Structure 1
Amino acid sequence: MSPRTKEQNDAIREMRMSQIMQAAAEVYLEKGIQLEIRDVAVQAELGYGTVYHYYKNKQMLLEDLLWDALNQAETAVIPALTGDDGSSSMFKAESFSRLLLHKCIQEPSVFILLKTVADNFHHFPGNRFSKLYGEFQERIYLPLVEMIRQEIGSKSPEKTANLIFGSLVGCTTLNIHHNMRNEIDADGIVDMIFSGIQARER
């Protein structure tokens, strides 16, 4: 049997890391910061040594999880930023919120990122996530603020953006903690948020 090529090894590594991060997100939803590498190994149906080979501690794993979630969130909202989402919505900000909430439901790591940012990284020691926070501001938060400023004419677009993010996190949290992730009416939630915003800004 011939040895694996570099491409094959890279593909296996990528698959394993994806498997580990998906498992870590599920464990985090259940245990929060108390998760351990062993918990993740059990959830991923991998040996402890296999997970430990990729991540020596849970801080490294959570850091990778959150950075990956940021990239996924940014990719999810690009159609709203470029106007290529095929939506009939008159507001890009509404489309942005809809896409982001759908991604939160599909990918728990994206929900974890939004909740962690909303909690100001309260459960994470030191300032090791200050760079991640800065990138989140630049790539997710500020684009939404700018859309709100241009499209809705809000007197305080930052407060409106905070209201939107808080509502998305809150609605997702309630459903996840009651094991009703598949029952979240993402479109209904976003419609309600924006009808309220528009009524307030009139």
Structure 2
Amino acid sequence: MSPRTKEQNDAIREMRMNQIMQAAAEVYLEKGIQLEIRDVAVKAELGYGTVYHYYKNKHMLLEDLLWDALNRTESAVMPALTGFGGGLLKAESFSGLLLRECIQDPSVFILLKTVADNFHHFPGNRFSKLFADFQERIYLPFVEMIREGFGSKSPEKTANLIFGSLVGCAALNIHHNMRNEMDVEGFVDMIFSGIQLKER
């Protein structure tokens, strides 16, 4: 049997890392920051040594998971970021896309929840760059949509309210196994109808 090529090795490495990160997201939903590499190995149906080969500790694994989730989040909301229409229409579209991704992809939910919690479970400043990138790529464009759409004097406050509502709604659906029952458009419409009434 001939040895694997570099491309084959890279493909295997990427597949393994995705398998590990998916398992880590599922374990994190069950155990939070108490997860251990051993738990992830069991969930991924891999040997402990295999997971440890890629990640020496859970903080390195969670850091990769959250960076990957940021990229997934940006891809999910890109149609709203680059689309046409007024700020309000874009903000509603953004919120629907974000909630749908949050419910379907546990790593995106974990990212949003972790940002909302200000990374308080994680040691040191290792996530300051991630937080800055989240602000620049996700949060501030959304705040600008709110500013345009509502003419709000405090768009950050409104954006925070919406993000908090989306995270809370996703948490209920994820932790109560109701992912397929969520009326995303109806929930987003309810949030925005309430804000429009308040802003009048």
Q: 2:124 aligns with which of 126, 132, 157?
A: 126
The residue aligned with 2:144 is: 146
- CA change 1:160–1:197 in 2 (3 A) is same
Q: CA RMSD in A?
A: 1.4
> Deviation of residue 95 (structure 1)?
0.4
| Alpha-carbon distance in structure 2 between the residues aligned to 1:182 and 1:59 | 31
Measure the CA separation in 1 of the matches of 2:182 and 2:39: 27
Distance (whole Å) between structure 2 residues aligned to residue 112 and residue 55 of structure 1 = 19
Aligned pairs for 1:30-179 (under 5 A) are 30-83=30-83, 91-179=89-177
1:168 shift after superposition: 0.4
Contact 2:103 2:173 (8 Å CA) reproduced: no
Whole-angstrom distance in 1 between the partners of 2:171 and 2:186: 16
- TM-score (structure 1 length as normaliser): 0.95
Question: What's the offset of the Cα at 1:126?
Answer: 1.5
What is the alpha-carbon distance in structure 1 between the residues aligned to residue 81 and residue 116 of structure 2? 22
User: What is the alpha-carbon distance in structure 2 between the residues aligned to residue 168 and residue 134 of structure 1?
Assistant: 21
What SS does structure 1 have at the residue aligned with 2:139?
helix
Pairwise CA distance, 1:180: 2.1
Count of residue pairs the alignment pairs up: 199
Kindly state the Cα deviation for residue 82 of structure 1 after the two structures are TM-superposed: 1.0
Contact 2:88 2:146 in 1 (8 A): no
- 1:196 match: 194
List alignment gaps of at least 5 residues for structure 1: none
TM-score (ref. length: structure 2): 0.96
1:187 aligned counterpart, secondary structure? helix
What is the aligned partner in structure 2 of residue 8 from structure 1? 8
- The one-letter amino acid of 2:146's match is I
Q: Which has the higher contact order (CA 8 A, sep 6+)?
A: 2
Partner of 1:174, secondary structure, is: helix
Distance, in Å, in 2 between the alignment partners of 1:148 and 1:121 is 25
Letter in 2 for 1:102: R
The alignment-based identity, stated in percent, is 84
Distance 1:8 1:138 in 2: 35
Residue 183 of structure 1 and its aligned partner are, at CA, apart by: 2.2
Report the AA paired with residue 33 of structure 1.
Answer: I
Q: CA deviation at 1:90?
A: 5.9
Q: Give every structure 1 segment of 4 or more consecutive aligned residues whose post-TM-superposition deviation is greater than 3 Å.
A: none
SS at match of 1:127: coil
Residue in 1 aligned with 2:23? Answer: 23
